[in-house]
């Protein structure tokens, strides 16, 4: 991208991690200056070595960075742990990669009262928040960050993002998701939504799909709706 700061005030929000991973993978290819950091993975209570490193490397529980962390200069990242809250390094802090060191990442905080502060992020040991997800204690030593061109709506909770894109290839399924997604930006004109109706799925790809959409535009108004999920039991307590 020609403007290295373009993504610092923007983010795409979606409901599922697989949607987020696809967007982040596609966006990172538009940047230059690649570096890949590999994690050190272990099963803490596996004295006989039943779990091969290759198997452990393929695990990516929620809340942990991937084994192969692919980064590029000026790409946006989000912190996954509280490292130094006093200086703005909290779980959910958004940063931009400014440089690479062998055992640290040079990054800049981009939003909040600490915006503009340059920091060095170290590798730290990380464990899944759910201890019962595997039949062993999984530990990953890696930089506690993920790419954040896109993030889940849950992860965006409590953040202010100047310009927001909401990508909904699947219906909203959780209480309050629409409210959280639409309230991240400060004005409605800074929110764009792409919601795909069930009727538009599986209609073909490429030229045929484009032909169907053009035909539909000419014959009827293109209406897209989202169902707001509300658990009334929560509100009645």
On whether the CB atoms of residues 21 and 55 are closer than 8 A, the answer is no
d(CA 58, CA 143): 17
On whether the CB atoms of residues 191 and 182 are closer than 8 A, the answer is yes
Pick the closest to residue 15 from 128, 161, 176, 162 (CA basis).
176
d(CA 12, CA 33): 23
d(CA 171, CA 187): 24
d(CA 181, CA 153): 6
Q: Is the pLDDT of residue 203 over 60?
A: no
Q: Is the pLDDT of residue 210 over 70?
A: no
Q: To which H or E segment does residue 207 belong? A: helix 206-219
The pLDDT, as a whole number, for residue 201 is: 60
Q: What mean pLDDT is reported for the chain?
A: 85
The pLDDT, as a whole number, for residue 152 is: 92
d(CA 93, CA 167): 22
On whether the CB atoms of residues 204 and 33 are closer than 8 A, the answer is no
Distances (CA, A) of 159 to 94, 112, 183, 220: 9, 9, 9, 38
Beta bridge partners of 164: 11, 191
**60 vs 221, which has greater pLDDT?**
60
**Percentage, residues of the chain above pLDDT 90:** 49
Q: What is the mean pLDDT of residues 207-231?
A: 62
Residues 72-119: tens digit of each pLDDT = 999 999 999 999 999 999 999 999 999 998 889 999 999 888 999 999
Q: What is the mean pLDDT of residues 44-56?
A: 89
Q: Is the pLDDT of residue 224 over 80?
A: no
**208 vs 176, which has greater pLDDT?**
176
β-bridge pairing 34-38 and 68-72: antiparallel
CB atoms within 10 A of CB 164: 23
Residue 236, CA atoms < 13 Å, CB-side half-sphere: 4
């Amino acid at each position: 991208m020609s403007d290295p700061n373009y993504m610092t005030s923007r983010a795409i929000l979606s409901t599922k991690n697989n949607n987020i991973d696809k967007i982040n993978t596609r966006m990172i290819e538009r940047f230059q200056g690649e570096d890949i950091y590999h994690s050190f993975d272990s099963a803490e209570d596996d004295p006989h070595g039943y779990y091969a490193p290759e198997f452990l490397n393929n695990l990516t529980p929620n809340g942990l960075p991937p084994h192969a962390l692919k980064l590029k200069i000026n790409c946006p990242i989000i912190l996954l742990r509280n490292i130094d809250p006093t200086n703005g390094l909290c779980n959910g802090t958004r940063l931009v990669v400014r440089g690479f060191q062998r055992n640290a990442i040079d990054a800049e905080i981009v939003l909040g009262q600490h915006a503009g502060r340059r920091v060095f992020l170290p590798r730290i040991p990380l464990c899944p928040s759910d201890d019962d997800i595997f039949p062993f204690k999984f530990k990953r030593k890696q930089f506690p960050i993920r790419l954040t061109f896109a993030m889940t709506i849950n992860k965006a909770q409590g953040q202010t993002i100047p310009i927001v894109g909401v990508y909904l290839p699947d219906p909203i399924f959780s209480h309050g998701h629409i409210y959280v997604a639409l309230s991240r930006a400060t004005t409605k004109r800074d929110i764009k939504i792409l919601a795909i109706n069930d009727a538009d799925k599986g209609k073909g790809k490429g030229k045929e799909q484009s032909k169907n959409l053009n035909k539909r535009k000419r014959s009827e108004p293109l209406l897209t709706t989202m169902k707001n999920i509300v658990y009334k039991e929560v509100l009645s307590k």
